[in-house]
């Protein structure tokens, strides 16, 4: 696996590979890698010639400086995991390679309600920072396919919208959420859970599963109310539990209102904020 720190070096290698007819799949990450991240790399290898991963803890998407500071960093372990997954190239740039001084790179797109609801309410500015770094990384790597996890469903929805707005030919591939055996969605943040909160956290997935069942015969507001109670009973502090259309992210009250319905949740497990989601209905899109 090649490791690049400089944009110019990565691009030089990518140019050669693309000229040789190779297709490039790209999975951007913030490191502290787990099987969820590796599933993106494996998918990229399966569907194309080269898998490129980036590790960059993007300062502009953290609205809470403490969260940025506490974000786990373990580059040696990450490199070993990527080697094992068959990753071809890793891009690990310093901040000034991604944001060269004097260049204004902030994405100024209007995402309408997409970045205003759910995470947008609780993490102001987060999606602007996320869109900016994803756009910058896509401009650098210019992959054929971009691999992202369903785990961050709203993020993926906004990136889909960004790709559409820029008329970009990049194909966005959504990879299913990888979970621990007890159902907890894998996340770099899980490393920070206390033993007590690690035991409580799988209630998030159980609540989502129960919501999927209840939503067959109950309206969303009733399902949401019982889900929030269930999370609180488990010792978690939910911020939202929303049932939304999977494309517009607008609230859905009844099954028949959309073909693609997703329940999205954010909850604090002690000091750690966790998110998860589950598709409640997936019909023809």
Sites of contact with ligand AMP (CB under 6 A)? 29-30, 36-37, 39-40, 148-149, 151-152, 175, 177-178, 185-188
CB closer to ligand AMP, 117 vs 174: 174
CB closer to ligand AMP, 42 vs 50: 42
Rg (CA), the chain: 19
Assigned token pair, 176: 């299913």
Active-site residue 12, yes or no? no
Q: What distances in angstroms separate CA 276 from CA 120, 154, 155, 156, 265, one per listed residue?
A: 15, 10, 12, 13, 5
Q: How far is the CB of 257 from ligand AMP (least distance, A)?
A: 26
Q: What whole-number distance in Å separates Cα of residue 28 and Cα of residue 189?
A: 17
Q: How far is the CB of 116 from ligand AMP (least distance, A)?
A: 20
Q: How far is the CB of 86 from ligand AMP (least distance, A)?
A: 17
CB closer to ligand AMP, 184 vs 220: 184
Q: Where are the alpha helices (DSSP H) in 92-168?
A: 95-98, 119-122, 126-141, 153-165
Closest CA to 273 of 243, 244, 237: 237
Helix axes 220-233, 203-214, angle to 10 degrees: 160
Q: How far is the CB of 266 from ligand AMP (least distance, A)?
A: 14
DSSP β-bridge partners for residue 25:
51, 145
Q: How far is the CB of 235 from ligand AMP (least distance, A)?
A: 22
CB closer to ligand AMP, 126 vs 151: 151
Identify the active-site residue in 12, 34, 37, 254: 37
CB closer to ligand AMP, 36 vs 120: 36
Closest CA to 261 of 276, 272, 277: 277
How far, in whole angstroms, is CA 58 from its chain's centroid? 13
Catalytic residues: 37
């Amino acid at each position: 696996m090649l490791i690049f720190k400089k944009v110019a070096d990565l691009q030089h290698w990518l140019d050669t590979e693309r000229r040789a007819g190779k297709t490039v799949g790209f999975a951007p990450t913030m490191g502290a890698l787990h099987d969820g991240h590796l599933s993106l790399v494996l998918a990229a290898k399966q569907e194309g010639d080269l898998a490129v991963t980036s590790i960059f803890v993007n300062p502009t998407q953290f609205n809470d400086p403490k969260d940025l500071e506490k974000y786990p960093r373990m580059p040696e372990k990450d490199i070993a995991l990527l080697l094992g997954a068959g990753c071809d190239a890793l891009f690990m740039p310093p901040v000034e390679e991604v944001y060269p001084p004097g260049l204004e790179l902030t994405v100024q797109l209007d995402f309408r309600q997409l970045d205003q609801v759910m995470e947008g309410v609780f993490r102001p500015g987060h999606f602007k920072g996320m869109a900016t770094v994803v756009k910058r990384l896509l401009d650098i790597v210019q992959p054929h396919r971009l691999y992202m996890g369903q785990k961050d469903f709203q993020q993926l929805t906004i990136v889909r919208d960004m790709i559409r707005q820029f008329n970009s030919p990049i194909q966005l591939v959504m990879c299913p959420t990888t979970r621990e055996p007890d159902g907890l969605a894998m996340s770099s943040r899980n490393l920070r859970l206390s033993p007590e909160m690690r035991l409580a956290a799988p209630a998030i997935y159980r609540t989502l599963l129960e919501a999927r069942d209840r939503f067959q015969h109950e309206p969303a507001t009733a399902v949401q109310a019982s889900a929030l109670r269930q999370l609180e009973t488990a010792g978690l502090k939910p911020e939202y539990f929303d049932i939304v259309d999977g494309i517009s992210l607008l609230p859905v009250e009844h099954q028949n209102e959309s073909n693609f319905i997703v329940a999205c949740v954010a909850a604090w497990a002690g000091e750690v904020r966790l998110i998860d989601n589950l598709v409640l209905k997936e019909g023809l899109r």
